[in-house]
Amino acid sequence: MQRDLSISFDKLGDVSVAAGDLSAARGYFADGLRIARQLAQADPTNAQMQRDLSISFNKLGDVSVAGGDLSAARGYFADGLRIARQLAQADPTNAQMQRDLSISFNKLGDVSVAAGDLSAARGYFADGLRIRQQLAQADPTNAQMQRDLSISFDRLGGVSVAAGDLAAARGYFADGLRIRQQLAQADPTNAQMQRDLSISYERLGDVSVAGGDLSAARGYFADGLRIARQLAQADPTNAQMQRDLSISFDRLGGVSVAAGDLAAARGYFADGLRIRQQLAQADPTNAQMQRDLSISFDKLGDVSVAAGDLSAARGYFADGLRIARQLAQADPTNAQMQRDLSISFNKLGDVSVAAGDLSAARGYFADGLRIRQQLAQADPTNAQMQRDLSISYERLGDVSVAGGDLSAARGYFADGLRIARQLAQADPTNAQMQRDIAVSYSKLANLCEKAGEPEANEHWRACLAVFDRMIAAGLHVSPQDLGVIDWLRRKLGG
């Protein structure tokens, strides 16, 4: 009876998560955890009771991630992992217990990625992959085990992209695609298998974009769109399928922007916006649907900026800001919602700079900085939050340079460089973090040149040294950055 009650609390929590009501979900899951803990303590040798307890920890971890509380999430997932490991060790031939352990590793990997700790994430995902390879090899006709293996490949591909290792990412995603093609062909009426296949195409499209191969990316995204459209047409009342279709439109819009085809990009983003407006109107209290809508407005704003239509861009960004502000006010402890709001401020700041309104730009960037300072202080080990803060300093530095206040700009750029250097030292194999240092040095160099100061060449040399270290370490350097390196060598006479 008590176990049934805990399951009921979990179900109500799941429904609250789906509706975007994280506060209610947290309450229900906490009630379920209380019962599960009592049952597990009363019968410590009962594997089912112990497993239920680990599931309760994972559910609270999931809702903590959704609420942006990564520290709490890490704690819950660690508690779940402890139990899962004990159960797997006690019954090594039990496939369910082994699978649960792989899930716990993946959850800790996901929270490590969100916190910017790619090294830890890679370790957790590798542990999960090892288990899933064993399970898939032991039961090659089990579709669930094969699907789990494809998910592990995707996780390692994602962390490789974040670390700038595109070759490794492409390999992992290709391994996942191979499995998913087989599963989709074996069960063509299974919507989940078809959806997984579309996701694999999108992952390979993303890594192709990052590697500069827009033709390959367009092909992958088109394959993903074809599947997403079929699934959405087959189940028009399924919000997830409709949402997936909007994401596919966004992917093709993004690659069109990268290729300079702004008309095509605008069409794709408009198609995505249409779907998201319908979803947001159908479920106005669903935070995810509202957030998706704000992202669509931002994407149309970005393409308007690229086309030089600053008035349209300002309108789209203002619509995005309106939603982002509502979501942040409704859930003030949700770090993701606060971060989204800071991004909206930055976008309006950027368009104000482009329009020559430096006073408005400074105001928007300052609003974004205020939020990011709070987020960085609340989670000092989160690399993403720290990096966001460095970007805000650079934005205010840029607008200070444009306004002729070189002293203020120097202070902002120095603050950005300090953070960038810390992040790069903490994660020396992360190409993005290393590149951020080079960008910071280049901004200080340009500032010194504008002020007529001799330290400019010192900063340019430091910038070049960063790129040289990246090349020596085998880190990804984009074709555009290779051009910058050539320019620096000529400028410095090297």
pLDDT in tens, 72-125: 999 999 999 999 999 999 999 999 999 999 999 999 999 999 888 899 999 999
Q: Range of 475's domain?
A: 400-493
Residue-by-residue DSSP string for 360-381: HHHHHHHHHHHHHHHHHHH-TT
Q: For the chain, how many structural domains are there in total?
A: 2
Taking 90 as the threshold, does the pLDDT of residue 484 lie above it?
yes
In a domain, 126, yes or no: yes
Domain boundary among 108, 138, 168: 138
Q: What is the mean pLDDT of the chain?
A: 94
Q: Using DSSP, state whether 486 is helix, strand or coil.
A: helix
Instruction: Find the helix packing angle between 383-402 and 431-451, rounded to 10°.
Output: 20
Please tell me the predicted confidence (pLDDT) of residue 5.
82
Encode pLDDT of 145-186 as tens digits: 999 999 999 999 999 998 888 999 999 999 999 999 999 999
What is the Cα–Cα distance from 282 to 25, expressed in whole angstroms? 21
pTM: 0.83
Taking 90 as the threshold, does the pLDDT of residue 493 lie above it?
no
Residue-by-residue DSSP string for 265-294: HHHHHHHHHHHHHHHHHH-TT-HHHHHHHH
Share of the chain above pLDDT 70, in %: 100
Please tell me the predicted confidence (pLDDT) of residue 255.
96
Domain boundary among 138, 171, 189: 138
Please tell me the predicted confidence (pLDDT) of residue 156.
98
Q: Give the pLDDT mean for 51-74.
A: 92
Taking 80 as the threshold, does the pLDDT of residue 1 lie above it?
no
In a domain, 342, yes or no: no
What is the Cα–Cα distance from 447 to 413, expressed in whole angstroms? 9
Radius of gyration of the chain (CA): 24
pLDDT category at 19 given cuts 50, 70, 90 is: confident
Q: Using DSSP, state whether 164 is helix, strand or coil.
A: coil
In a domain, 181, yes or no: no
Taking 90 as the threshold, does the pLDDT of residue 4 lie above it?
no
Please tell me the predicted confidence (pLDDT) of residue 24.
92
Q: What is the CATH number of the domain that holds 100?
A: 1.25.40.10
Domain boundary among 121, 138, 155: 138
Please tell me the predicted confidence (pLDDT) of residue 196.
97
∠ CA 55-61-62, rounded to 5° = 90
Taking 70 as the threshold, does the pLDDT of residue 359 lie above it?
yes
Encode pLDDT of 378-423 as tens digits: 989 888 999 999 999 999 999 999 999 999 999 999 999 999 999 9
Q: Are 57 and 65 in contact (CB under 8 A)?
A: no
In a domain, 192, yes or no: no
Please tell me the predicted confidence (pLDDT) of residue 376.
96
Encode pLDDT of 433-462 as tens digits: 999 999 999 999 999 999 999 999 999 999
In a domain, 85, yes or no: yes
In a domain, 458, yes or no: yes
Taking 90 as the threshold, does the pLDDT of residue 241 lie above it?
yes
What is the Cα–Cα distance from 380 to 382, expressed in whole angstroms? 6
In a domain, 267, yes or no: no
Q: Give the pLDDT mean for 328-338.
A: 92
Q: Are 392 and 369 in contact (CB under 8 A)?
A: yes
Q: Are 146 and 136 in contact (CB under 8 A)?
A: yes
Return the biggest CA–CA distance within the chain.
79
In a domain, 131, yes or no: yes
Phi (first) and psi of residue 284, to 5 degrees: -65, -15
Please tell me the predicted confidence (pLDDT) of residue 494.
62
